[in-house]
Structure 1
Amino acid sequence: MTTFRQRFVGATELPKTLTEFDVEQSFQLSKDDLDAIRKRFRTAGRLAAAIQLTVVRATGRPLDRLTNVPRALLRSLCSALGIQETSIASLKTLYSRQATLYEHQAWARQVSGFTEVDADVLASCAQTLGRLAGTASSVDELVKQAEIWLFDQGRMLPGDRVLRDLARQAYLAIDEAALHTIREQVGEPGVDKAIRAVFSMRRGRTGGTVLEWLKGSPGKHGPSGLSEVTDKINFLKDLGVDRWTLDAIPNARLRAYGQTVVHRPPSETKRLKHETQSVEVICFLRMILLELTDVALYIAARRVCDLVRRASTKVQGKQTRGLTHYREKQEQIRQVLHEEGPDAEEKLEALKQLVPKDDVEPRYSRAALVRQALVEDSTRVQALLNGLTGLDLQGRANVPSLKQIDVLRDLKARGVKELPQDFDLSITDPVWHDLLRDENRVKAHAALRACALMSVRKDLRGGRLWIEHSLDYRNREGLLIPPEQWKKERGQFVSALNLVMDPRKLLEVIRANLEAGLAGLAEALRTGKVEIDEQAQFRLPALLPLEGDDQVRRARDAMFNAIGECQFSDMIVEVDVHVGLTETLLGRKANSVQELLGCYGALLAHGTENDAKGVAAMVPGLEVAHVTSAMRALEAADRLRKANDRVVAFQKRFPIAEHWGKGDKASADMMSLDASKHLFNARIDPRRRTYAVGIYTHVLSTYGVIYDQPIVLNERQAGAAVEGVERYNATVEDGIRLSLLAVDTHGYTNVAMAVAKLLGFDLCPQLRNLSERRLFVPKRMDVPDSLAVATVDDISERAIIKGWDELLRLIASIRIGRVSPKFVLEKMGSAAQGDPLHKAADHLGKLLRSLYLCDFFSNEDFRREIHTLLNRGESVHQLQRAVFHGRVMPERGRRSDEMRAISGSHALLTNIVIAWNTMKMQEVVDRWKKAKTPVDDAWLRRMGPVHFGNINFRGTMSFGIDRHAATLLQKQQVERRRA
């Protein structure tokens, strides 16, 4: 069952606002149902029985005789049964006898296949909740998951009290298990020491408690920011947090415990009972250490880039001054040569003085000059290197960077400030050897520090170095399937992945397809569809626009004129009524109008440029405290993702969406949100030259945003691209998995293309640079003569065969969730060259890229499809910029949870607009067809639901909750408001 239809599971009554669309999706009678009703009941009892049957199938619970029945459901059932439409208000009108009600309920259970729960089923449900409690953020969320699990098992749902007791027990068991783990791994003395430490007062000008200090986020990525982070890490290591082994506590639960401390004032945490305080504080400290380590490494990497940039600027200045000197020298030579009076011998003597025989300057490359400048900047280099080496770096055997660090530590311990003459140059990169041989051994010592700094950064990025108390820089080997388990279960994993044990079979298929693709490309080259220029690079003709653009534009304008103007707040409420957004975000229906408004306000505060104070000023009756409290609640894991899934499923169900695609293709790209320069994770957007943070989104061919994640600007996005597809395919419930993802140049690498293919989908990049359009083929492969100049035969099939088993192990580890594609691909970039696994994936990816380019170059329809997918993603980005047109302020986005909430809320608001537009477009199309107005399907295929010119995103917002209170609020709250 899809998440969209799950919104009715567990309902004890149906909303009056139930629409015809809801009825069509969830309350329809089949032909067999109609035959069973007509056979079992007389005309007078058929409507009541039909109501019971449809409601049991949608909710898992029967309706009692006092429940109101929505008008849309009555109209649909009367039409299906062929009886006159009635206007009854509740089932009480249909059931004059209580026994008849019980008889109909029993019949509905029998026909629908639902059975009553028993002790064994409840025990199984309790076990399931025990597993789910590790990631659930509240008891209400567990109750909802219990309802869905029982519904999927075909069981009638018991009363709320029964399920709530099971949920509380599961939650309590998780707490007890966490407390047991902490007492076992940390010990009571360690727990008491940690609690005393975090509530102790700090000395100095700032004051406050240590807990408040640890909760503070770093500012800019400068030296002071790095120093602040490393001070916190050292404090936590002094407490022994890096030695705590809390693997028995699920990572999601560890984060949930830690977030409660982050979101709560220290005084309230201090008043908790000792057991609860122990669990939350210890998990908070562990979570903070993991996050701070990642932040420290991120800031250090930025600082390395800054140092290299500073050195490059210094070299550029020297080169500019050197050029001026040479021009002056050239002018002097010209004056001597063209001066009248002196004879040739005098001129020759003057030229010898201007250009001495022994004055020959050595020639260095720009990279060599930058390395020299880094050596001269020894103070900054040493400070940064000291910060990195104090983070407990670990690595593979014989990693040169660790050997360099050991040498530096030994020299420092002995108080030696010069590099020994007998230093082993083999542990360093050859490009540094000239600097390390310098006669000035103090300068050579500085060169070793600069070399070690660059080596550590490269090995961290390549996965050869790692830190155990980190999330993004852990040991890759420890995250993969253990070798013993892989050896034993390899056949099962490979079979489940639908791959082959012998890579030669796969290579034979790829080689055959590549030969056919090259032949087709040679034919396209012969017929002039593709050209190869003088630089042996492919050039493609521009895609011509499709005919009928004016007709499509006029039809689109007419459609949105018929839809009319709309307030953003009304759109949010209307989609919430249909989908149950706030129920997903809160884990239950809202208890009050204030809580509902707070949830809407939190969405706007996270997903737009407004902050909590600005949103409270826009929404009458809403206070800042309500918004900030709800904003913290939205940071809980997966809540925004589940809400987005519901909205996308809702939007895909409209018939008009079928014109835009089947839902098996998508595009992925990054959009940048302007941000304050005081955010440590902000970088300069190269296009707009402003500080910004990145939001990477996956957009379906039907326009819905199916996955979003915050990323860092100016870095390869291939890991984020593959991660989004794998996460979506792992959770999609309608059976339509993504088979193709269109990306731009930043969204691919050769390794990513190989990983994507082995995970079951094609990564299709639209390459911007002509130099990247070369075709790579296996060695000694026959290539058509016309393509020989544009091909490179350096693919080693032997390397693929040699690394195939490790590649399969990697893919299997991704598929079962042990490691994320983003983590893997970030560690398999250019810094991982020399790793056999990287080499195998890189060569396989080059083969797949050549196969893809053959189709992309020779098939115009395929090229247009990729172009269309990317254009749809860009149109969604335009809508996203209308939703969020300002910038991320410095007090937001410093924590990873905040950035995920900003990204998820922004995607959810965007999806709300897309879903609402789709719903209204469907209504207009239905009216046009009913009025016999011509509507061409070809026009609909080229109209998108991302129009926003008719939407008012700003100003005072009024949410019309009173009209939908029965749907959006808890039942008891609705009755209280009526009273």
Structure 2
Amino acid sequence: MSSYLSRFIGADRLPRNLPAFDIDVYFRLPADTIQAIRDRFHADRLPGVENRMVAMAAQIVFLRTTGRALDNAPLLPPALLRALGAALQVQPPSIASLRSIYKRRETASEHQRWARRHLGIADVSKDMLAQLSSVLSTHAGDVASIDELVTAGAHWLYDQKVLIPADRALRDLARDAFAGIERAAVRTITTVIPADQRQACRKALFATRGDAGMTVLEWLKTPPRRHSPSTLNETLAKIDFLKTLHVHEWDLLAIPLARQRAYAQAIAGRPPSESRRRKDNTQLLEVICFLRMTLLDLTDSALFQTGRRIGDFSRQASGKTQSRQAQRSGDYRAGLASIKDLVSDATRTPEQRLAAITEVLDALGDLSPNSHAAVVREALSDDPVRVHSLLSAVSNLEFRGRPNDRSLNHLQQLRQWGAAGVNAIPADQKMAVSKVWDPLVNASDRRRAFRALEACTALELRKGLRRGSIWIDHSLTFREREQMLIPRDQWEREKSQYLSALSLPADPDAYVNPILKLVEAGLAAVVEAKNDGAVSIDAQGMLRLPAMDPLPDEVEPQRLRDLMYRQIGSVQFPDLILDIDALVNFSEVLLGRRAVDEHELVAVYAALFAHGTEIDAKSVAAMIPQLNPGHVAGAMRALESPGRLQRANRQVVEFQRQHAIAALWGTGSLGSSDMMSIDASRNLWNARVDPRRRTYAVGVYTHLLDHHGIVYNQPVVLNERQAGPAIEGVVQHNATNEGTRLQRLAVDTHGYTYPGMTFAKLLGFDLCPRLKNLAERKLFLPRRMDTPEGLERVVIRDVSLKAIRTGWDEMMRVAASILSGRVSATVMLQRLGSAADDDPVRRAAEQLGRLLRTAYLCDYFSNPAFRREIHTVLNRGESVHQLQRTVYTGKIAPERGRRRDELVAISGAHTLLTNVVVAWNTHRMQAVVDRWRKAGQTVEDTWLARMGPAHSSHINFRGLFRFGIDRYREMLIQARSTSRRSA
């Protein structure tokens, strides 16, 4: 069941003002139930039979929707009674509770039993409670609070068709499961970490560091600042400090990573003085997990900064080289002009002219041809300080790698020479480097050769980290690839099960041969389209497509859309958020429970504004009078709990999909993904220059369904290929969505690579890129496949089927590891990027991806309807990007976005606010359409299909925010009599 359709599970009462939309979605009586109720009461001639029929229907729909018996509701919602009475064709009571309808409690109990039998719901038993306890113990490692565990238990019982018991019983089981996880974690820590190390860690973490009065805990949780050598040095200093506490030696794999991060966030989100007062075991858990997660995060940050610094060196060297080459080009032209003048100078003898020409040539220097890359390598070799300083700084990191990795060997050699004070390669030692570096590293000038070796090592270190041939054990992103994948012995044992889950054969030919037949059919279709003039090949061998004609009848949908939004009218952003929250209860997802009071609810909204817009906590507190900056900051920290924003987004999207008008926009099987950049300070360490807008920014990569809902978001680094995030979003969506799966994903040129095409297909969907560059519109075929006549200039026959067969098994292992969640597609696709050319998996994925892209492009070229569909969904993504920019109009403040968790929260909150606007517009559009049609006005579905909900001119996003909670109190705030305490 989807997250939205399950939002009433576990509820023990209904709000009095239940919306008509909820009644239609959750509490509608099916025909078989209506007939069963009529049959049940057909012989009842006693007074009040109609009331009892309505009460029976209420028992059934409440039990079916919530999984609980209708015991505690003081009053039934009048709108629900009217709807049930209309369905049963009887007169319902205007005001009713179970007590007013049932004069005898035995009758009410008998009706409840009948409802349970009708729905097939069993009473909870001791055996079922024992199973539930086991399930909760399993779930306890993945949730952040007891409230979330209670919700998980209620959902599990609902799926098992078992009556959900009272909240207290569930909460007791959840507490026991949570306590069991904590006890197991404490046992792991006391077993793995010696007592003296545990005591030293506690003492060191709360000690004061330096003269500023800052504790070590506060120092460690201070995020990296701007992109600079000093930031990298400080990050490395923190890593060195943690290693003195032996944190890198701890094996805490027995504690789930989600629990480690939850314990770490708990201590990071409160003052050190408060953490020091915690109970011994709780403090121990939080301290150890904080130190471990901090080490993992800092290591990732240090390696990312190192790679970026090396990239800076190359880019700056390239810039200097370009200016140097431009100057040398001018000198060459001036020299050639001088030589020309000397040749024609009749006043000099031939010997004098030859001597003068020789002087000019000597002044010009070496004229031998040299590539730009070679000149860049020379410039890096002439950098005596920066490369050396970087390698010296990172040399203490415990890099590991494959035995034949030359860069790791060179790094170890340089470390030994540095310890000995050597700054020149010994004359009798020849270094094994690549062919392009050999002239510089093994040159006669041994000091310059030493600097060249450092530059070579730095560049190879960056490549090694990206392709995974070099790694660090105490890292999350830069771990050894074998640690990320399914263990090899487990893969060999369970290969058939994994391949069954992927729906893939063990024989590569059984997979490739059908694709070859598709390619042959596609090529024939392209030839036919070329003969019909639908596509053409120009003189340069580039395949060209004509511009698509606009669809006819654009005037009527535009007029209808304008009229519809005038009917909807203007709205304040706080009112819009309250409207949707009352229908969706996303605040309950964000808190892990219902808000206990108005203050807590408003603080959640304020945290959404502070994360999801350019407004900071202080400004949001000024806009919401009942809050202060401390309340907002605390709520912002709570939103950083892993998964909460993502689940809230899914719930809002599921609500939007329930509307009939959304079905006219799409089915949910087609989507698009693209990156939107958010401006940031140039001092933010992970910000980069947006090439189009020429401003520093960070990227938010979003996945949009064809009915406009954003189902996945992820912060990304600008100027890097986005095939990994594109695949990861679909994998996550398909894994958590029980409805329609995404089958095709439209992306732009940056959203695909050849390995990306391959792994998308292996994971059950198609990447559909819109290629901007005509030179990329080539068709790749196997060497032995015949080229159709007329396509010779756009066909490249270089696909190696042998490479696909060689890397097939390992490629399946990688795909199964992504599908099972052991490694993200983002990390795996980075390991299989261009730096991993010699990797058999990379070669196999590259070759298969070329073949798959050819099959896709044949459809794209020959099928205009398919091409229009891809362009349409990409354009919808752009329209939603415009809405996103309206929500986030400014830039990220310099002190924001430095931590990974905070950047994820910014991305998730921004997406949630955008989805709320889309859902509200959809809901109001549906209401207007229903009202028009009920009044007899013609509204064509074809007109509605051409509209969209990404509209914002009628919404006031800024100003003084006032939340009218009273209208929605029953829907959003937990009733006092059954309020639940968060543990």
Into which bin does the TM-score normalised by the smaller protein fall? over 0.9
- The one-character-per-residue Cα deviations of 1:691-722 (angstroms, maximum 9, x if unpaired) are 10000000000100000010101111100000
Moved more, 38-47 or 378-387: 38-47
Is 2:153–2:170's contact at 8 Å kept on the other side of the alignment?
yes
Three-state SS of the structure 2 residue aligned to 1:457 is: helix
Give the corresponding residue for 2:600: 595
Aligned to 1:815: 819
Structure 2 partner of 1:553 = 558
Match of 1:281 among 265, 287, 293: 287
Q: Aligned partner of 1:816: which letter?
A: S
1:7 is paired with a residue whose SS is coil
Q: Is the 8 A contact 1:315 1:370 kept in 2?
A: yes
Q: For 2:362 and 2:919, locate their aligned partners in 1 and report how far apart those are by CA, in whole Å.
A: 78
The separation in 2 between residues aligned to 1:219 and 1:190, in whole angstroms, is 30
Q: Does 1:674 align with 2:691?
A: no
* Structure 2 CA distance for aligned equivalents of residues 90 and 620 of structure 1: 39
Which stretch of structure 1 is more off in the superposition, 940-949 or 338-347? 338-347
Question: Are the counterparts in 1 of residues 62 and 68 from structure 2 also a CA contact under 8 Å?
Answer: yes
Moved more, 452-461 or 413-422: 413-422
1:3 is matched with which residue? 3
How far off its partner does 1:90 sit? 2.8
Which residue does the alignment assign to 1:509?
514
Using the alignment, how far apart are the partners of 1:727 and 1:619 within structure 2?
A: 35
Does the 8 Å CA contact 2:543/2:777 hold for their aligned counterparts?
Answer: yes
Deviation, structure 1 residue 973: 7.3
- The superposition leaves residues 791-847 of structure 1 with CA deviations (integer Å, 9 ceiling, x where unpaired) of 111111011011111111111112222111111101100001101111111101110
By how many angstroms is 1:345 displaced? 6.9
Displacement of 1:661: 0.7
Summarize the alignment of residues 797-812 of structure 1 with structure 2, pairs less than 5 Å apart.
Answer: 797-812=801-816
Residue type of the partner of 2:265? Q
Give the C-alpha shift of residue 967 in structure 1: 1.3
Contact in 1 for aligned 2:13/2:73 (Cα 8 Å): no
Aligned pair 1:824/2:828, yes or no?
yes
Residue type matched to 1:838 in 2?
R
2:168 paired with 1:161: yes
Identity of aligned residues (%): 50
- Whether 2:256 is the aligned partner of 1:255: answer no
Q: 1:109 aligns with which of 92, 116, 123?
A: 116
1:57 maps to a residue whose letter is: R
Equivalent position to 1:172, from 179, 193, 204: 179
Counterpart pick for 1:244 among 227, 232, 250? 250
In structure 1, distance between residues paired with 2:357 and 2:720: 52
Compared with structure 1, are the counterparts of its residues 966 and 436 closer, same or farther at alpha carbon in structure 2 (3 Å cutoff)?
A: same
Contact 1:65 1:90 survives alignment (8 Å): no
Contact 2:335 2:364 in 1 (8 A): no
Give the aligned partner of residue 120 of structure 1.
127
Q: 2:297 aligns to what? A: 291
Q: 2:704 aligns with which of 699, 720, 728?
A: 699
Task: Name which of 760, 763, 771 aligns with 1:756.
Answer: 760
Cα–Cα, structure 1 residues 360 and 208, in superposed 2: closer, same or farther, change >3 Å?
closer
The amino acid across from 1:22 in the alignment is: D
Structure 1 residues 329 and 912: alpha-carbon distance in aligned structure 2, compared to 1, 3 A threshold: same
Find the aligned partners of 1:236 and 1:359 in 2 and give their Cα distance: 53
Matched residues in 2 for 1:65 and 1:102: separation?
A: 13
Amino acid across the alignment from 2:132: C
* 1:360, distance to aligned residue in structure 2 (A): 4.9
SS at match of 1:887: coil
User: Hey, what's the Cα distance between the residues in 2 that align with 1:66 and 1:13?
Assistant: 5
Aligned residue runs from structure 1 range 320-331, under 5 A:
320-331=326-337
State the partner residue of 1:586. 591
Relative to structure 1, is the Cα distance of residues 158 and 956 closer, same or farther in structure 2, using a 3 angstrom cutoff?
A: same
Aligned to 1:900: 904
Is the aligned partner of 1:536 residue 2:537? no
User: TM-score when scaled to structure 1?
Assistant: 0.97
1:410-429 alignment to 2 at 5 Å? 410-425=416-431, 427-429=432-434
Q: Which residue of 2 aligns with 1:438?
A: 443
Residue 390 of structure 1: how far off its partner (Å): 2.0
What is the identity, as a one-letter code, of the residue corresponding to 2:319? Answer: T
Q: Secondary structure at the match of 2:6?
A: helix
CA-CA distance at 1:498 after TM superposition: 1.0
1:311, distance to aligned residue in structure 2 (A): 1.1
Deviation for aligned residue 1:785? 2.3
Kindly provide the CA deviation profile for residues 258-299 of structure 1, in whole angstroms up to 9, marking residues without a partner as x: 001110111111111221111100000000000000100111
Task: Note closer, same or farther for the CA distance 1:246–1:356 as it changes in structure 2 (3 Å cut).
Answer: closer
**Candidates 781, 791, 811, aligned match of 1:777:** 781
Question: Does the alignment pair 1:498 with 2:503?
Answer: yes
Which stretch of the first structure deviates more once superposed, 445-454 or 11-20?
11-20
Pair 1:375 & 2:349 matched: no
Does residue 871 in structure 1 map to residue 878 in structure 2? no
The letter of the residue matching 1:198 is L
Instruction: Tell me which amino acid in the other structure corresponds to 1:595.
Output: E
Provide, for residues 586-620 of structure 1, a one-character-per-residue CA deviation record: whole Å limited to 9, x for no partner: 11110110000001101111111111111111123
Q: Which digits, 9 at most, give the CA deviation of each residue in 1:427-478, with x for residues without a partner?
A: 3111101112321111111111111111111011011111110111011112
Structure 1 residues 857 and 135: alpha-carbon distance in aligned structure 2, compared to 1, 3 A threshold: same
Residue 273 of structure 2 is matched in structure 1 by 267
After superposition, the C-alpha distances for 1:884-928 in whole angstroms (9 at most, x for unaligned) are 111111221111110111111111111101111111110111111
- Structure 2 partner of 1:662: 667
> Is 2:332–2:364's contact at 8 Å kept on the other side of the alignment?
no
| Residue number among 894, 897, 902 corresponding to 1:890 in the alignment | 894
What residue identity is the alignment partner of 1:951?
A: I
Is the partner of 1:692 in helix, strand or coil? strand
Cα shift at 1:84: 2.1
Residue equivalent to 1:130: 137
In 2, the alpha carbon distance for the partners of 1:963 and 1:236 equals 52
Task: State the 1:350 CA deviation.
Answer: 4.3
**TM score, norm. by length of structure 2:** 0.97
Structure-1 separation of matches of 2:82 and 2:920: 24
* Counterpart residue identity of residue 486, structure 2: I
Query: Which residue of 1 is the match for residue 966 of structure 2?
Result: 962
Question: Residue 151 of structure 2 is aligned with which of 124, 136, 144?
Answer: 144
- Give the Cα–Cα distance (whole angstroms) in 1 for the partners of residues 653 and 73 of structure 2: 34
| Letter matched to residue 296 of structure 1 | A
Alpha-carbon distance change, 432 to 558 in structure 1, aligned in 2, over 3 angstroms: same
In structure 2, C-alpha distance between the alignment counterparts of 1:142 and 1:964, rounded to whole Å: 26
State the shift of 1:129 in Å: 0.7
Mapping 1:818-967, distance limit 5 Å: 818-967=822-971
Map 1:462-481 onto structure 2 (within 5 A). Answer: 462-481=467-486
Q: Which aligned runs of 4 or more in structure 1 are off by greater than 6 angstroms?
A: 973-976
Structure 1 position 334, deviation (Å): 5.0
Distance verdict in 2 for CA 1:357–1:675, change over 3 Å = closer
- Return the alpha-carbon distance in structure 2 between the equivalents of residues 163 and 798 of structure 1: 57
Match of 1:35 in 2: 35
Letter in 2 for 1:483: R
Where 2:486 maps in the other structure, the secondary structure is coil
| RMSD of aligned residue pairs (Cα, Å) | 1.8
- Alignment partner for residue 234 of structure 2, among 224, 228, 240? 228
- CA positional deviation for 1:139: 1.0
Given that 1:672 and 1:693 are in contact with CA atoms closer than 8 Å, whether structure 2 keeps it comes out as yes
1:488 aligns with 2:503: no
C-alpha change, 1:352 and 1:680, in structure 2 (3 Å) is: closer
> Matched residues in 2 for 1:359 and 1:316: separation?
17
Distance 1:515 1:236, change over 3 A: same
- Note closer, same or farther for the CA distance 1:794–1:93 as it changes in structure 2 (3 Å cut): same
Residue 214 of structure 2 aligns to a residue in which SS? coil
Instruction: Give the gaps of 5 or more residues in structure 1.
Output: none
| Deviation, structure 1 residue 326 | 2.8
